[in-house]
Amino acid sequence: MNIRLARPKDLPRLNEMFTAIVEHMDRTGVPIWNEFYPFDYFEEDIETGVMYVLEDEHTITAAFSLCRECEGAAHVTWQRPGAPAIYFDRFGVSTEHRRMGVGRQAIAHAEAIARELGGEYLRLFVVDINRPAISFYENCGFVRAAGHYDEVINEHTTLREFGYEKPLA
C-alpha cells in the first residue's frame, strides 16, 4: 500500500468511504459522526495539504489528516506539553478493509510523516464512547493523557474526548 496526499478528485470516493464508515458506526453503537462531520473538513484539508490517503492498487483504503493544532490540546495534560506535536485527525478505514491491518499501516505512515514534519509526538482525540478506537490506539502504543476535552457540538450535544499521544523517537 502506498500513501499520498489526497487530491480534489478523491472527494467522491472519500465521501462514499466515510458514508459507509458513519453507517457502520451508527449500527455498532458509536453514533458520533454524521452527515456534517467529518465531511465538512475534507475540502479544506485537501486544499491545505494535510489530508492523506492510503491506497491499494488505486483503491483508497484509509484516510487521515495531520494537523499542527487541535482545539482540545490545552484541555488535557500531555507528557511534554510544549513539545512539537502533530495531531492525527479524521481517521477512517474503509469498511471493506477493516481488520486487515490497514489501520496499523495508516498509523505507521502517519508517524513517519509526523516525524518529517518535525513532530516529537503524534497526538489525537477520541470520543469516550468509541471503545473500538480507544482499544485500537492503545494497542498501537498510544497513551492516554490526563483530563478530557468536552467538545460542545450544539445545545443538546457535547462529546467528551480523551487525548492520546505517542512519542515519535
pLDDT higher than 90, residue 21? yes
- Helix H, strand E, coil C: the string for 95-112 is HHHCCCCHHHHHHHHHHH
When pLDDT is cut at 50, 70 and 90, the band that residue 153 belongs to is confident
Q: What number is the average pLDDT over the span 140-145?
A: 98
Classified as helix, coil or strand, 19 is helix
Pick the CATH number of 2-167 from 3.40.50.2000, 3.40.50.720, 3.40.630.30, 3.40.120.10: 3.40.630.30
Domain ranges of the chain: 2-167
Cα separation, 53 vs 91, whole angstroms: 10
38 closest CA partner among 104, 137, 127:
127
List pLDDT tens digits, range 72-128: 999 999 999 999 999 999 999 999 999 889 999 999 999 999 999 999 999 999 999
Burial of 30 (0-12, 13-18, 19+ CB in 10 A): middle
Strand pairing report for 85-93 and 121-127: parallel
